[in-house]
Structure 1
Amino acid sequence: MNGTPSTALPLRGDWLFPTEIRFGAGRVSELRALCDRFGMKRPLIVTDRGLAATPLAERVLAAADGPGIAPRFFTGLQENPTGGNIAEGVAAFRAWNADGVVALGGGSGLDGGKTIALMAGAGGSLWRFAWPDHAAAQSERAGVPIIAIPTTAGTGAEVEPSAIITDERGPTKRAVLHPAMLPKAVIADPELTVTLPRGLTAATGMDALSHNLEALCVPSFHPMADAIAASGIAMIGRWLPVALAEPQNLTARGYMMAAAIMGATAFGKGLGAMHALSHAIGALKGCHHGLTNAVLMPFVLAYNRPAIEPAMMSLAEILRLEGEAFPAVHRWILDLRRRIGIPETVAGLGLAPSEFDRVARLAAADICADMNPVPVDAASLKSILEAAA
């Protein structure tokens, strides 16, 4: 398997898994019809400050605007959205008398938009929906309609009923979960990713790889997730270098967007220490999540090796790698990182050894830590950071 179907088909389709997805170039033009279908006459388009300053934002606004529909932007999200950002967004939703949310962007715009929609319908404290205290709130009727429009090929947040939001009191990144956070529909239009800068294309692509890879390594029986994850890994290995070399290549951009959706679908099975550490580093340092995952990836794999040999044997076969499976996959990842310019150590993230203890303690309390194939605690997580120094 090389990540490409054996027959050449147009990269366009309508999917109903895990939610309604309209996939294909130019499909952002269908936004107004979707707003009308979901009764969204005054949608709030939620995005981050950086994306709001680009022509993409105006293109999406134009796609939503029309007779009987009056969209408005909320652009107050940081790169790593905070509880304060969410409160401001809910206030903007109510001031506009909005009736739905269009979540636009990468992870920040998508997670922020979904969480604003949740709280616009639910009210009260955001953190009652945050792991590990979320169980009692899951039965609450909450949320307003959400349409998700990704502009990167990384997080896959467009197909998740959850979000990662920074609690400024720590600071810590917390997982916010509720069924109403799953978007009613997704517009996955690879045209919206062609202007993504090279560095963000690389980092978000490696984020998609981390989702597929960690999901594959989680030691639980889930053959559907495993098949999706393995295919997603092969797809990224084939098409991420092409997307970087040829930014306007819609085939490469389309396959990367599909692989990101696949990763988020697969990690319903679980994640692991890569994400636990990345969440902690992101909360403290503000680093890009995908870049952080990319830096940590080979070191977490090495720590997990005793428990993931069978998964690596399957993956090496799919990737057509020669030699012993784990070293071959490990080399494949290191080579991909070098080719696309990922820093080799956590020093490239601005993380100093004096910060390892604090990061490890935060990571040990993260939702993803308990899913890791090899048990982790603060001491073992610190050892991974030391290996990555």
Structure 2
Amino acid sequence: EYLARGSLQYEFATEILQTPIQLMKISDAPAQITEVLKHLVANNAAMVHDDAPLKFVQLIQLLRVATLENIEAIWAQFKDKPVYRRWLLDALPAVGTPVIVKFIKEKFLAGELTLPEFIQALVVALQMVTADLETIQLTAKIATIPALREVVMLGYGSMIAKHCVAVPTCPAELLRPIHEIAAEAMAKNDIPQITLALKVLGNAGHPASLKPIMKLLPGLRTAATALPLRVQVDAILALRNIAKKEPKLVQPVALQLVLDRALHPEVRMVACIALFETKPSVALVSSLAGALKTETNMHVASFAYSHIKSLTRITAPDMAAVAGAANVAIKLMSRKLDRLSFRFSRALQIDFYHTPLMIGAAGSAYMINDAATILPRAVVAKARAYMAGAAADVLE
């Protein structure tokens, strides 16, 4: 007779990142790093050697186990040799540890990295590094460098988003500096700073940012109506990542903006994009379709109709409910909108999904026109990939 004795659970260590990985014996990391570097330089001068990818992965893995002092010594040894320097600058950002981010920052401040080298290394490092509290605090310090403020600030928002995926209970305190920057910029009417803060909040996608963003939404606050159109659009776009986490909070706001005929048509169309990011229910999409029956702006009507119609053909599993809602709503709208030319604003979505293999791809394009010109006022395109039940936006 079988007796239940519980289960075995294996926990993978988090001290050393495990990807990419090449099984190898590490006895003396600094010496092995030097050896691999010399091999890469010697065998890839004229053309790429067959074992270059393998050796490069080994170099990354060796750098991961090396201490900051070891990396400092290796950098001091090879920084004046251009070929070795290039290999190191390619490998170091891929290591993906806070030590490397700190190393890159210190070398730039010491004048040992040029601005292009620093930007390239830092952008890759911020994408590869594990988003923990230590890294977030380090990124905030790097953001104080004037030459890189905008790039690092955007990376700071993305870092918070990555951290909140791993830690769903991530505190809103992480975004307090950005909220303060936004409030100060609003008080001074500093448009570039307002735009930057909105983009950072949009990258972070934390629900706690909804209140600061709403202060910049047109129609909901009279002061925001006086802001430039570009800022109003950025404020609505900042809602998209929040909409994926807290759709019920964003839906009423986005719907109100779409239906407010006093607003600029571009603002209303962007709000329509944000609304469908929330994966609205049948009732909500039907309400939108019913309200658009009497829409007087043909650009808004064409955009919403084409958006809903394109959603009826979506086959991706995560959009099944939205596709069903769109099929109901499209029957409530006038078929005359289907005959509008491409001179009017349009939304297009296409996708492919293979259920047995659980892989697929989706693409969307939004063309926002106005009455003054035939050419689109703005074009937004996005590509999404599906694999093994997971989905990710790969390009926008």
* TM-score, with structure 2 as normaliser: 0.29
Structure with greater helix percent: 2
* TM-score, with structure 1 as normaliser: 0.29
Higher RCO structure (Cα 8 Å, ≥6 apart): 1
Structure exhibiting the larger radius of gyration computed from Cα positions: 2
